[in-house]
Structure formats: C-alpha cells, structure tokens
A and B are shown apart, each in its own frame.
Chain A
Amino acid sequence: MPFLAYVGVFLLLPTGIVIWDAVKNPAGQFDLASLKLLFNPEVRTFFTGSIELSALSSVVGAVFGAILAYAVASGNPDGVVRRLYLSGSGVLAQFGGVTLAFAFNAAIGPSTGFLFHAGWYYDFPGGIALIYIYFQIPLMVLVFLPAIDGLKIQWREATENLGGSTWHYWRYVGFPLLAPAFIGATLLLFANALSAYATIQAWENQIAYTAPQQIYIAINSEVGLASNEGDIIAVGMMVLVAIIMVGYFRLQRRAARWLR
C-alpha cells in the first residue's frame, strides 16, 4: 500500500511532529503547560488579527461571490462564458499568492497606484482584506456554483403555479435550500483566509499581523517567547481550522440532501 506509506511520511508524520514539539517542555518531556502560550497577550493579538481578517474577507467574499455565481449559473450551462469564468476563478482562487499583492500595489499602491493612490493600502485589516476578497470571490463561485446549479427549474415553476412571486420563491424555496450550502461555503472561505500566507507576506512582511506570519518569524529566529513558539501557534491554528472544517463538512452533507 504505497499510498498509505506516502501519506504517512508526508502528512501524518509532520503533523505528529508539530503536535509533539508543541506539547513538550525544554527538557523534552510531555508537558501541556507550554500550550498556555496560546493565551499569552502577544500571541493572542496574532490570532485576533487572523480572525478579524478572515471574518471580514470571508463574509464579504461569500456575499459577492454568491451573487456572481448566480449570474454565471443563470446563463448557458455549456457556454463559453461559464467556461471562461470557471477557468478564471480557478486561476484567481488557486494561483493568487504573491502575484495578487503586486497587482494591487500596481493598481492602488500609495506611491505607485495606477488608478489612484490609496492612503489606506497598508491599513490592517482594511487594505489587505480587499486583496483577500479578490481571491475569496472566485473561490466562492467555485464552491457555491454546484449548489445553485442544483436548484431545479421545476421548483420555480411550482411556486409560480401556486401563485407565488419571485420574492416568494426566494423567501420560501430558494434561500432556505441554499442556506446550508452558503454558510458552509463561507466557513470554507474563512478557513482559506486563515491559512493564507503568501499574499499577506508579499503585501507587508515587516510587521506580523496574523498567526501564519508569526509562525514564520518564530521558526526563523532564535529569540522568541519559547523555543517551540512556532509549533505552539501552529497547533493553535490547526485546532481552529479543524473546528471550522468540521462545521463545513457537516453543512455540506446537510446541503447535499436537496441539491442533487
């Protein structure tokens, strides 16, 4: 079973190493006390920063992404438009990384902006959230489109035959059906923003605002709050993302009940 060996070495083993390194004291013994560092005020600011940025960018990204997904879905299902939008979304959602920070710096950077010079470009979380929304919307389109495609035209016709208006359709049929998928997708976007590192690093790498940036600093410098500070923050992030993803998978299952 080569698959199991592979996943074992490159996924399970590293995860185990992080957890083990986080829960041992400098003498190498098992000691949960080091996890207390997660509640250290300084460490907490990185988590607060991460959560603020993720919440802002995922909620805004989910709302606008859902609108765009509906516009894409209402067109020809096999058309060029849809193909181009999906490929474009695939690129922007996956490929973003450092490139996006360059693009935004070129567009609205405070000294270089092509469109205008945004004084708030380096504000946290406002400026960076705008860049995050730029890759959150395409991701929302990708994950939310199947749910919208699952809405059957017969449901709409049934509403109309019963004398319902467009408002009735959305209020009593469309929205309740899409709600679990929408909340689930928002959670996925939240986790996505939480794990993102490349964009914020390219945007401003002098000051650490978020937990991933602090992990980078911790594993690259000897001075820190503890020798295993990087591992401890990593475990904190792992727990946070795991909780969110469990919620996402549950909602997905709930959403799949109607949308086949």
Chain B
Amino acid sequence: MVAVNVLGEGALVDPSARPPGMQLGRRKRLNLFRWVTFTIFGLFFLLPLIAMIRFSLEGKKPGTFSLTAWAQIGSTPDLVSAIEITLELAVITCAVMLVLLVPTMIWIRLRVQRISQIFEFLCLLPLTIPAIVLVVGLQPIYNQIEHYNVSALQLFWVYVILALPYAYRSLSAGLIAIDATTLSEAARSLGANWATVILRVIVPNMWQAIMNALLLTAALVLGEFTIAEILNDITLQVALFNISRATANAGVLFSTSTAALLFAFVLLLILSYAGRRRRRA
C-alpha cells in the first residue's frame, strides 16, 4: 500500500495522465484536488497498516525492533496448518467454480438464451443472503456431509456459492464482449466438437474475464471468516481470531495479518497485469 500512494502522486506529473482537451486552469485545479485527495486517503488507509507492521516488528522491550514475530509464523503449528488449508481451499474453490460456471454460461449463451434471466438471478442471489444467514441453514447440511469428510477443506462447497456473484459478473462481462455465437458457428462449421469450441475457441477469448473471476474468488476465500468460524473449521482468519482471543496483542497476530494482506494485494496486482498481457497477445 505504500507503493499506491507514492505512485499515485508520481503520476500527476505524467503527461499521459491528463485528460485531453482541458483548459490549463481547470487542469491545475484538478491536479491539486487529486494530490490532496490521494494524500488524505493515503494516510487514512496506510496509518492502520503501518501501525500493524510496527507491532509486528516489536522486540521484547517496548520500542525496540525485532523479527521474532515474523519467525513465529513458521513455528506456530496451528497457524501453519491453517495457512495450508486456506491456500488449498482457494485453489479448490477456484477450480470448482470454473468447472461449474464456465461451461454452463457458454451453453446458456449459445443454446438457451431464454433461461439467462433465471440463471442471472440464481447467480446474484447469494448477494442478498448474508453469510451469517446462509450458515444457519448450512449447519444441518454440513452435519450430513461431515460423515464422509471431516477436514476443513469441506468449506469449498459453500465458498463456491459465496464467490458465485463476483465470478458470474466478471465472466458474463467477458462473454458479452466477444461474439460467442459467430465464433462457435465458425468453429462448428470447420468441424469442431463442443469441447473444442468451449476450450479452444471461447475460453481463450475471455481469458481476462476468467482471470478476474479467479482473483476475486481467491481473495474471497483468503478473507472469509464467518462461515469457517461457525462450522468450526480452522482457516487462516479463524486461527488469527483464536490467537487474538488467547493473547490480545501477540506479535505473531500482526506479522501474519500483514503477510496475508500483502499476499492478497500482490496476488490481485499480478493477476491484473497477467490478464491484460494475455489479452493483447
């Protein structure tokens, strides 16, 4: 987040940042407005994060610096297993979401347009059902599943549902942007079967949309707390919460939180670049 603000101000002198055809006086005022806004918001967003980083570097005596808290991440078994589970959950959720959503959306777009409204409604429905409400109804269902699968990985079932609206929106934007009907007719008339149409014609054309969907899904899984806590599955956020209950200001709390936030930020940034490059190529 430090980089956000520094680069935010740096770009003000970048001539390409200026909207074309604007009067000089107004542009000056706009730049002043942008500078002031980025500074104030930058401070508001950065200060809590800086405070967290500072505490993650606190030594034994107050006011000293040390890396103990960062080293503790690796030596806290609860935390290590929770991090592993959360990363695995993110991968599984992304995979299931893609397999479930991409073929269905392409099929609906190409063959059964008339049910697209109902489909959209179903996909956006989770937005209107808070996670805390959903989990109340999920408890009995998970009690059934738990007979077969007791690991916290079982959470992916419901995480796919939570990610549905975000994944749907970005995929549907990608699908609308390409002329899927013409593409598939062209491919079909050249003798391609449906699997080829989907995997080798349509999917490569909506690569950025798929990347966006994946990134939003991954970020959601990394940050989810409500459902995991209530179903008693120890994910990263639940492990952090439990540590904070035991010792309110444990250094490892701040180092792990900082690491997790940075990880999510870098992930989103990398994916936002990767998605673009693929599309240009």
In chain B, positions 3-17 with a C-beta closer than 8 Å to chain A are: 3-4, 7-8, 11, 14, 16-17
Shortest beta-carbon distance from B121 to chain A in Å: 10
Shortest beta-carbon distance from B192 to chain A in Å: 23
- CB nearest neighbor in A for B225: A198
Q: Is the CB of B223 within 8 A of A96?
A: yes
B214-240 Cβ-contact flags toward A at 8 Å (1 or 0)? 011001101111100110000001001
Q: Is the CB of A107 within 8 A of B128?
A: no
Q: Is the CB of A81 within 8 A of B138?
A: no
Q: Is the CB of B222 within 8 A of A95?
A: yes
Residues of A within 8 A of B (CB): 1-3, 6-7, 9-11, 13-18, 21, 64, 67-68, 71, 74-76, 79-81, 83-88, 90-92, 94-100, 102-108, 112-115, 134, 137, 153, 157, 166, 191, 194-195, 197-198, 201-202, 205, 212, 215-216, 219, 230-231, 234-235, 237-238, 241-242, 245, 249
CA distance A2 to B122 in the complex (A): 14
Q: Is the CB of A107 within 8 A of B136?
A: no
In the complex with contacts A85-B8, A112-B249, A230-B136, A7-B265 CB distance below 8 A: no
List A contacts of B229 (CB < 8 A).
198, 201
Interface SS majority for chain B: helix
Q: Is the CB of B51 within 8 A of A115?
A: yes
CA distance A3 to B103 in the complex (A): 10
B110 at the interface (CB under 8 A from A): no
List A contacts of B198 (CB < 8 A).
none
Chain B interface size, as a band, is 35 or more
List B contacts of A96 (CB < 8 A).
223
Shortest beta-carbon distance from A84 to chain B in Å: 4
Q: Among the listed A64, A157, A197, which residue makes an inter-chain contact with B226, where contact means beta carbons less than 8 Å apart?
A: A197
List B contacts of A88 (CB < 8 A).
1, 4, 45, 265
14 A-B pairs with C-beta separation under 8 A: A6-B160, A9-B141, A10-B141, A68-B37, A90-B215, A91-B268, A94-B264, A102-B253, A106-B51, A153-B20, A191-B127, A195-B130, A198-B237, A201-B225
Among A7, A91, A237, A241, the most chain B Cβ lie within 10 Å of the Cβ of A91
CA distance A6 to B45 in the complex (A): 39
Q: Is the CB of B223 within 8 A of A216?
A: no
B114 at the interface (CB under 8 A from A): no
Among B219, B225, B273, the most chain A Cβ lie within 10 Å of the Cβ of B225
CA distance A18 to B134 in the complex (A): 8
CA distance A223 to B225 in the complex (A): 25
Q: Is the CB of B264 within 8 A of A114?
A: no
CA distance A94 to B159 in the complex (A): 14
Q: Is the CB of B127 within 8 A of A245?
A: yes
Q: Is the CB of B254 within 8 A of A90?
A: no
Q: Is the CB of B26 within 8 A of A107?
A: no
List B contacts of A201 (CB < 8 A).
225, 229, 241
